Amino acid sequence: MNRTIRHVGVVAGILVFALLVNVTLSYLLRNNSLDNNPANQRVLQAQFAQPRGAILAGNTPIAQSVPGSGDFPYLRTYANGPMYAPVTGFYSYMYGRNKLEQAYNSALTGSSDPRVIQQLINSLTGQPGAVASLQTTINPAAQQAAWNALQGKQGAVVAIDYTTGAILAYVSTPSYDPAQLSSPDLDATQAAWKALNADPAAPMADRAGREIYPPGSTFKLVTAAAALEAGWTPDTMVDSPARLTLPGTNTQLTNDSNCGGDQISLQQALQVSCNTAFANVGLTIGQDAIAAQAARFGFGKAFGGDVNSAVSAFPTGLDPSQTALSAIGQYNVTASPLQMAVVAAAIANNGIVMQPYLVSQVVGADLNVISTHSPSSSGRAVSATTAAELQQMMQSVVANGTGKRAQVPGLTIGGKTGTAQSDNVRAPYAWFAGYAAEPHVAVCVFVANAGTNEDQTGGATAAPIFRQVVQALNG
């Protein structure tokens, strides 16, 4: 009998020990994820009762906590809220948080104090942790220039330091003021949420990184890269008829202008953005080569970290006519402005793709740096030789081709225009993806609705915005 009782006691002891281990591990390993879950109302109420770390662009707080009253002793405020909304995101009692407010919530609330013992003491005593601030990579002058240039337009601008991946500008228009959703007036917050989500202009959409569109002729950079990697040179000749009947169809592909002859060099084809020439490039090298090249630039997967982008895509299972259209960035090719900025950045960075990021440092309340982002590469998109050839070809586009309005006196500029037909109703999408060598920046400009006339092209609409952003970065 005593032996049976001892066995039961041992089993019970093991179960109690296992329970204690599980509780301890759950606290140590899951504490931050539970604290950062927007659905955790207990934690949410506690967080709104204490200050929150600031988010800075340069030396200016673009999101910070200020004294409130009553049930909300601290309020979240946003400087130039609409301009920085796709960077900061919102912090709302009713609707949670997103963007950097979510990605770095544990640091902003102090729940990620690296001192484990101090974090445990804070938790047991109910004392708030020391909140941290975020130093973003955003250049305020470039952000302002992009914002100003996009006013009255639906579009986006992404600028990246192509040597590190640091995002220098990240703008989406139209936008919204995150302060509308952080108001202590919950009825007003609810009304603002409903109005913003019902707005057909979709002001809460992140067109810079979370939306994808037909990239049009900017995708010819990818097709050209695939051709060069396959052994072509900028001087390789390619057929460029005025009209090309797509294989297996009666549909004729045309050019927006005279390509310069029935057969032109690959460089000339990029310079004048010759559709029929690049369709023939696609038909010659094949869909697999283009798809593989697109993947090396980042298509087919999200950019992670604190960017959390949408996935750009190159279609599969194409027939020859679909391959021809895909080679010029039409059919079902889709890309975010962030993705096309990364394409231009990799070319400018001698073929190396750098992971884009928005936060350079997390800084404690005592001004000591808690963590610093280390730039990282996701691999090589093209060889250094191919990158140099593409740089020269892109510079020719700006110097002598469709991208002349992107020129900045005294700077080495390379780029590619794009005009994408999205459907038969709306105006074409206007794109420009390029780089400036001296401030080592790559910029993608996307405009969805600049107009319905012939000026709605990448060269006329998007290239001048690129120029303004580069000028702001160049001082």
Measure Cα distances from 254 to 95, 203, 243, 381, 402 in Å.
49, 35, 5, 30, 17
Residues 6+ apart with CB under 8 A from 80: 62
- The two structure tokens encoding residue 385: 């030789």
Are the beta carbons of 114 and 106 closer than 8 angstroms? no
Closest CA to 282 of 234, 215, 328, 343: 328
Report the catalytic residues. 217
Are the beta carbons of 276 and 255 closer than 8 angstroms? yes
Q: Between vectors from CA 308 to CA 304 and to CA 311, what angle results, nearest 5°?
A: 90
Handedness of CA 235, 241, 247, 252 (dihedral sign): positive
Side-chain-side CA neighbours of residue 193 (13 Å):
17
- Per-residue confidence (pLDDT) for residue 352, from 0 to 100: 98
Q: Between vectors from CA 454 to CA 448 and to CA 459, what angle results, nearest 5°?
A: 65
CA distance 445 to 433: 6
Give the end-to-end CA distance of the chain in Å, rounded to a whole number: 88
- Coil vs helix vs strand at 433: strand
Give tens-digit pLDDT for 91-126: 999 999 999 999 999 999 998 655 444 444 444 444
| Candidates 3.30.450.40, 3.40.710.10, 3.60.15.10, 3.30.413.10; CATH matching 216-474 | 3.40.710.10
- Per-residue confidence (pLDDT) for residue 199, from 0 to 100: 97
Instruction: Write the DSSP string, 6-51.
Output: HHHHHHHHHHHHHHHHHHHHHHHHHHHHHHT-TT-HHHHHHHHTS-
Which residue type does 305 have? G
The residue extents of the domains of the chain are 216-474
Count CB neighbours of 431 within 10 A: 34
Are the beta carbons of 237 and 259 closer than 8 angstroms? no
Which residue type does 77 have? T
- The two structure tokens encoding residue 286: 């094949």
- Per-residue confidence (pLDDT) for residue 7, from 0 to 100: 64
Give tens-digit pLDDT for 272-287: 999 999 999 999 999 9
Are the beta carbons of 266 and 233 closer than 8 angstroms? yes
Q: Which helix (H) or strand (E) holds 345?
A: helix 337-348
- Per-residue confidence (pLDDT) for residue 49, from 0 to 100: 81
Which residue type does 411 have? L
Closest CA to 356 of 335, 384, 387, 377: 377
Q: Give the pLDDT of the chain (475 residues) as one tens digit per residue.
A: 566 767 666 667 777 776 766 655 555 455 555 555 555 556 666 777 899 999 999 999 999 999 988 888 999 999 999 999 999 999 999 999 999 999 999 999 998 655 444 444 444 444 446 899 999 999 999 999 999 999 999 999 999 999 999 999 999 999 999 999 999 999 999 999 999 999 999 999 999 999 999 999 999 999 999 999 999 999 999 999 999 999 999 999 999 889 999 999 999 999 999 999 999 999 999 999 999 999 999 999 999 899 989 999 999 999 999 999 999 999 999 999 999 999 999 999 999 999 999 999 999 988 899 999 999 999 999 999 999 999 999 999 999 999 999 999 999 999 999 998 766 666 789 999 999 998 999 999 999 976 655 567 889 999 999 999 999 999 8
Instruction: Specify the pairing of strand 72-78 against strand 263-265.
Output: unpaired
Are the beta carbons of 208 and 156 closer than 8 angstroms? yes
- The two structure tokens encoding residue 45: 């109420």
In the sheet where 429-436 sits, what is the strand order?
A: 167-173, 155-161, 441-447, 429-436, 413-420
CA distance 146 to 175: 13
Are the beta carbons of 265 and 233 closer than 8 angstroms? no
Are the beta carbons of 221 and 395 closer than 8 angstroms? no
Measure Cα distances from 370 to 50, 133, 285, 361, 365 in Å.
20, 10, 49, 7, 10
Rounded to 10 deg, the angle between the 320-327 and 287-297 helix axes is 40
Largest CA distance in the chain: 102
CA distance 289 to 383: 15
CA distance 332 to 370: 44
